[in-house]
């Protein structure tokens, strides 16, 4: 119609476009799982054109805090079925996530076989650089340790950290590509974790389920967590040398790639015949 003016978003400076998209796309927290791994929020902006998708998705995946909620006895099926966050179809999207909080109730075979490998792939082949693992108060180690409710000396009783899924978790936290790696446990935890946090603990705290109230999404309502010293756990678990060897191999592999690229870049071109 006559007199109408058209606002051309892409005529704005890149800095102003980023500021607008940040206001639109950076949310308080994005909780997974959903039935399919479809980013929440104003999705229509992703569908405008390729340039908008590239600019908007870069902000969405890098600046939002994602929470992967696996607080169930068994891994929710829709995490691994087609379109789920841990499915093959969700791989490219999850590799773009930079900040992730993982909520667990137990560290079992599902973590070792499914969740752990997916997160390791997000670090090695993707953008994951900030990882916070939160273990709920209903977390359980193997049955032989669940009944131990007295403080343990980790030097004399390190067996619970030799449980293979738990070692897989420690190896994930030790990944050198992670810029921030935290391991937290709720107040109502087994005493086997007590030597690894600074806060004072007691049997009364172990017996309570503080922080176990859940909201409509099944997430804890502001629970209190203790931060665990996972590096000390690694020393006690006996896998320190394995992690060091893996790190050395990764560094050697990276150096080899860098050397070949550098050599090719500065190679003197052959003279024409």
Give me the average pLDDT of each 10-residue run along the chain (273 residues).
77 95 89 61 83 94 93 80 90 96 91 95 97 75 42 47 90 96 88 84 51 55 78 87 63 49 48 48
Provide the edge-to-edge strand list for the sheet that holds 65-70.
30-32, 65-70, 99-104, 130-135, 180-186, 225-227
Q: Quick one: pLDDT at residue 13?
A: 95
Q: Quick one: pLDDT at residue 146?
A: 41
Q: Which helix (H) or strand (E) holds 70?
A: strand 65-70
Phi, psi of 226 (to 5 degrees): -100, 135
- Give dist(CA 120, CA 118) in Å, integer: 5
137 close to 212: Cβ distance less than 8 angstroms: yes
> In the 8-state DSSP scheme, what is residue 174?
T
Q: Quick one: pLDDT at residue 153?
A: 39
Q: Quick one: pLDDT at residue 158?
A: 53
> In the 8-state DSSP scheme, what is residue 191?
G
- Give dist(CA 125, CA 200) in Å, integer: 39
Q: Quick one: pLDDT at residue 148?
A: 40
> In the 8-state DSSP scheme, what is residue 100?
E
The CA-based angle 186-191-195, given to 5 degrees, is 90
177 token code pair: 């590509």
Q: Quick one: pLDDT at residue 242?
A: 76
Q: Would residue 58 be called left, alpha or beta, if left means φ above 0 and alpha means ψ between -120 and 50 degrees? A: alpha
Q: Quick one: pLDDT at residue 2?
A: 59
How many residues make up the chain in this entry?
A: 273
Q: Quick one: pLDDT at residue 40?
A: 55
137 close to 213: Cβ distance less than 8 angstroms: no
SS3 of the chain: helix, strand, coil, percent, to 5: 45, 10, 45
Task: Please give the C-alpha separations between residue 249 and each of 16, 19, 44, 93, 131, in angstroms, as whole numbers.
Answer: 43, 41, 44, 28, 23
**The residue to which tokens 């665990």 are assigned:** 228
């Amino acid at each position: 119609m006559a007199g109408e003016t058209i606002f051309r978003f892409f005529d704005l400076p890149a800095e102003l476009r980023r500021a607008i998209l940040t206001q639109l796309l950076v949310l308080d927290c994005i909780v997974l799982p959903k039935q399919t791994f479809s980013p929440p929020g104003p999705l229509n902006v992703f569908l405008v054109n390729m340039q908008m998708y590239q600019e908007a998705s870069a902000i969405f995946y890098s600046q939002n805090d994602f929470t992967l909620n696996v607080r169930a006895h068994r891994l929710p099926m829709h995490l691994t079925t087609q379109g789920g966050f841990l499915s093959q179809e969700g791989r490219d999207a999850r590799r773009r996530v930079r900040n992730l909080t993982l909520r667990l109730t137990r560290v079992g075979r599902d973590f070792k076989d499914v969740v752990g490998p997916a997160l390791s792939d997000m670090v090695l082949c993707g953008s994951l650089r900030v990882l916070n693992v939160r273990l709920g108060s209903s977390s359980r180690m193997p049955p032989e340790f669940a009944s131990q409710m007295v403080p343990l000396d980790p030097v004399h009783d390190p067996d619970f950290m030799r449980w293979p899924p738990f070692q897989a978790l420690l190896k994930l936290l030790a990944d050198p590509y992670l810029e921030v790696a935290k391991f937290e446990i709720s107040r109502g935890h087994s005493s086997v974790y007590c030597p690894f946090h600074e806060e004072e603990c007691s049997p009364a705290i172990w017996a309570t389920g503080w922080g176990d109230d859940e909201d409509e999404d099944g997430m804890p309502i502001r629970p209190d967590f203790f931060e665990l010293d996972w590096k000390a756990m690694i020393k006690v678990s006996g896998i320190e040398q394995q992690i060091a060897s893996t790190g050395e191999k990764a560094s050697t592999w990276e150096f080899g790639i860098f050397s070949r690229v550098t050599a090719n870049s500065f190679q003197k071109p052959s003279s024409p015949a």
